[in-house]
Amino acid sequence: MEFSSFRKYTRLKWIIPICSAGILTAFSLLPADEWQDKVTNALALFAKRYPQEKVYLHFDKDIYASGETMWFKAYIMLQNQPSLAASIIYVELLDKDGNVVTKKRLPAQGAAAAGDLELPETLKTGHYQIRAYTAWMLNYDPSFLFYKNIEILDPTKKNTLPAKDTSALRDFAVQFFPEGGNMMVNNANLVAFKAIDQNGYPIAVTGSVQNSKKQTVAEIKTIHDGMGTFELSPAAGEQYHAVVKIGNGVQKTFDLPAAATEGASLKLFNRGNRIFYQATLANPDDTAFHKMMVIAQVQNQLIYKAVLDAGEGRISGFIPAQNLPTGIVHVTLFSDKGLPVSERLAFVRKADQIDLSFMNAEISNAPRSKSSIELFAPDSMQTSLSISITDADQVLKDPDEHNILSTLLMTSDLKGYVYNPAWYFKDTAKATIEAIDLVMLTNGWSRFSWQKILNNEMPQLKYPYEQGMSLKGTAVTNTGRYPLQGGKVDFIFKQPLDSNTSFASAETNEKGEFEIANLQFMDTVLVFFQGNDKQKRWKDVQVTFDQHFFDRAPMPITTPYPMRVPLGLDNAAMTRFLTTANESNKVNRAMTNKTVYLKEVNIRDKKITPQQTTEQRYTSGMFASGDGYTFDLTKETPYQLNVFQYLQSKVAGLNITGDLNNPTLAWRGARPSLYLNEMPTDASMLANVSVNDIALVKVFRPPFMGGFGGGAGGAIAVYTKKGGDNTGSDQTIRGFERMKKAGYSLVKEFYSPDYSVKKEVHELADKRLTLFWSPYISVDSITYATTIRFYNNDFTKRFRVVVEGIAADGRVGRVEQVY
């Protein structure tokens, strides 16, 4: 079930008790000075005006071959709550040079959107990257868009697989990260490090830290994925370096950052329900850092504030975390000048995810047999879930795994690359929690700069928060010298996809600007437009349109997320995968060229008879009856230019005189009301509708009280043709200019066969590697369960089932099981 309305869910309540706890600490009862208010006010202003949006894409699998379809569902969050107002999401496939291979604009609803990316068989194989975002996210650092690296393989070349890199490592690098940002002389400093190989992947290292006399003062040894820590108490004026080597014996030397002789730094000790902190000074006698303040925030929301006084020994405290949700806590130490001097991240790990589990699984691995699995979600909150079922033996997992938990709870708030972040959410063991803290020590927070927001240097909002597609532009007159003030631009939209026609009109402001908001159409629409000066001051009106960034010719993109050489997978499994993908492509080609028959059904509804008239199909309410004339243009080929010329002399008593593009109408001394598809309109709009697009005209004798504003002059109601009646009218409209506009991308429906019904298409081989995909799973609100049923292909013996999703209160969830 997708979220349909906004409520203040219980998860938001964590803000209130934590704020209270922070305010009531012993160190925060002191009266706030102006510099303290400046800091907290700047954070509050940024959080209110610049909320942060996140995107995550759940794909049906991790590896693909050309010719396949990538199925995905996008989840959109705003300040870690479902972004219910989000209306559009953009998804791009980039090649290794940053060129946009294909892109999608998808309508979002209920903080989610479903889509697919078709990979043509002719697509060049190699390294690719998925980029996904909302327009609002483009206002901020591009590092926080969604990125996913993928390797697209050629199924016809099974002997040229990307093998595991077993060659000797040629190079490596080690970075050092003092806790809090700087080492302080004459203090015990915790220093974290991260070692990576020449491809950017973590690598195990050992070594030692030495002083200028080559004396060993600390030992270096990785703890997890190239990361580790050591303690160092640097002496003033001393320079330190690290001598590090990797498994094959290659050794390198790296300089450590110099220790500061003045300033302050921050230490954290994460104990789960409490995060203890301690400020350390390089020089305890330096009164410039006696007065300080500690600020803690989560998702730009202030959760803790404390004033420190080193002169009186108040340099430590704790941040209550028992009511915080899973996620990153950003702690900053400020001087009494209101400047940040040290920062540290901590990760709160709670068992607060959506409780998802599988039950009552009835799995059959016989060819084309039916299986069922029950998904259980014992939660009173609405959920938005997606499911993928794949062949567990042939569709291998990426060893650098990213999932909804690791993305939305951790990496989406970190700048930089984290290898295999899903590993940190496999359990809550002590070793796992300690490894997460290594990630916090070696990765920085960069969603905003304290210095900038304190100086009121806020982000420049070039991209508004979109509420749907819009059409914006400017109308000018007198060969472009003057804006069209108080005029209008008339539009006719024709959609080739279903032959529908719609009409709109936009008023121009004093600058000649106009906008039509909340446009809804798929694929491509033909836009016919004409500028009109209501006061007839100018005959020439030129209209230009603002170009949306999605409609511009794509330029190569330099992404901050590097495309890494894949680690490689098991060759035997990859060969099986590519063999099956190649056979699946052959089956898909056969299905495309083969007639597929519809399922037989018993028709019980009444058959549509010739007596059902065009009038009955088009009219409704008071428009379906009334005293007057009816003209069915679907049975004619009218030669007239517009409806007014068509009606001349056809209706007794109706006078149509003057300029037929804006005629004078009268009937029994009053002007008839005008309607287009049963909505009020004006004469100029009706005059611009081609008679070839008109299905029906009804002329009601006076008085007519059937529509808005109906009255003594009767009414003329014009109906434009629907898909079945549109026989391909001319793609030009007299007096109108034309352009094409891209709409929402079409989304395919996942093919899931039903082998209980005999169909000709079932004679083909079944080589599906993704056996079931559904971007929307509805969980029963009473039983908290739903049953997923699917049919096997011709060969799968083990099934990997993955469900991911979000709850209405912002929690995320994931469950994976192999049967």
| Tokens matching residue 107 | 């309508």
- The reply to whether 409 falls in a domain is no
pLDDT of residue 146: 96
CATH of the domain at 219: 2.60.40.1930
Rounded CA gap, 633 and 630, in Å? Answer: 10
- The reply to whether 487 falls in a domain is yes
**Residues 622 and 715 occupy one common structural domain:** yes
pLDDT of residue 2: 58
- The reply to whether 187 falls in a domain is yes
Q: Cβ contacts of residue 308 below 8 Å, gap of 6+?
A: 27, 279, 291, 292, 293, 294, 314, 315, 317
> Domain boundary residue among 255, 287, 310?
255
Is the pLDDT at 519 greater than 80? The verdict is yes
Report residue 726's pLDDT band, with 50, 70 and 90 as the boundaries. low
Rounded CA gap, 694 and 678, in Å? Answer: 13
**Residues 248 and 272 occupy one common structural domain:** no
Mean pLDDT across the stretch 572-579?
86
pLDDT of residue 479: 78
**Residues 246 and 273 occupy one common structural domain:** no
Of 474-483, 543-552, 560-569, least confident by mean pLDDT is 560-569
- In tens, the pLDDT along 582-623 reads 888 888 887 766 544 334 344 344 444 443 578 888 888 888
**Residues 632 and 712 occupy one common structural domain:** yes
- In tens, the pLDDT along 5-15 reads 434 334 444 44
- Beta-bridged to residue 317, according to DSSP, are 277
Nearest to 807 by CA among 301, 319, 379, 232: 379
pLDDT of residue 179: 95
pLDDT of residue 170: 73
**Residues 241 and 322 occupy one common structural domain:** no
What total number of domains does the chain contain?
4
**Residues 633 and 541 occupy one common structural domain:** no
- The reply to whether 388 falls in a domain is no
**Residues 342 and 306 occupy one common structural domain:** yes
Of 398-402, 574-578, 612-616, least confident by mean pLDDT is 612-616
- In tens, the pLDDT along 659-669 reads 777 888 888 88
**Residue type present at position 411:** T
pLDDT of residue 539: 67
> Domain boundary residue among 730, 758, 786?
730
Q: To which residue do tokens 């030495």 refer?
A: 210
CATH of the domain at 620: 2.170.130.10
Rounded CA gap, 757 and 597, in Å? Answer: 11
Rounded CA gap, 319 and 275, in Å? Answer: 5
- The reply to whether 273 falls in a domain is yes
Strands (E), 701-784: 715-720, 737-742, 770-777
**Residues 284 and 238 occupy one common structural domain:** no
Q: Regarding beta strands 146-153 and 64-65, do their DSSP bridges make them parallel or antiparallel, or are they unpaired?
A: parallel
Residue 120: CB atoms within 10 A of its CB come to: 11
- DSSP, residue by residue, 15-84: HHHHHHHHHTSGGG-SPPPHHHHHHHHHHHHHHHHS--EEEEEEES-S-EETT-EEEEEEEEEETTEE-T
User: Is the separation of the CB atoms in 750 and 777 below 8 Å?
Assistant: no
Rounded CA gap, 216 and 209, in Å? Answer: 6
Cα–Cα–Cα angle for 204, 206, 208, rounded to 5 degrees: 150
- The reply to whether 458 falls in a domain is no
**Residues 633 and 543 occupy one common structural domain:** no
**Residues 330 and 250 occupy one common structural domain:** no
CATH of the domain at 319: 2.60.40.10
User: Is the separation of the CB atoms in 308 and 318 below 8 Å?
Assistant: no
- The reply to whether 692 falls in a domain is yes
**Residue type present at position 147:** Y
**Residue type present at position 725:** D
Mean pLDDT across the stretch 292-320?
93
Q: Comparing 62 with 628, which gets the higher pLDDT? A: 62
- In tens, the pLDDT along 704-723 reads 876 655 567 889 999 988 76
- In tens, the pLDDT along 670-690 reads 889 999 988 888 888 898 888
> Domain boundary residue among 314, 348, 382?
348
Rounded CA gap, 767 and 132, in Å? Answer: 30
Rounded CA gap, 424 and 433, in Å? Answer: 8
Structural domain for 339, as ranges: 13-49+268-348
**Residue type present at position 357:** S
**Residues 543 and 628 occupy one common structural domain:** no
- DSSP, residue by residue, 325-347: PSEEEEEEEEETTS-EEEEEEEE
User: Is the separation of the CB atoms in 671 and 660 below 8 Å?
Assistant: no
pLDDT of residue 169: 62
pLDDT of residue 624: 84
- In tens, the pLDDT along 347-397 reads 999 999 999 999 999 999 999 999 999 999 987 788 999 999 999 999 989
- The reply to whether 627 falls in a domain is yes
| Tokens matching residue 658 | 């003057």
Is the pLDDT at 433 greater than 60? The verdict is yes
**Residue type present at position 818:** V
Mean pLDDT across the stretch 219-237?
95
Of 43-57, 120-134, 714-728, least confident by mean pLDDT is 714-728
**Residues 658 and 697 occupy one common structural domain:** yes
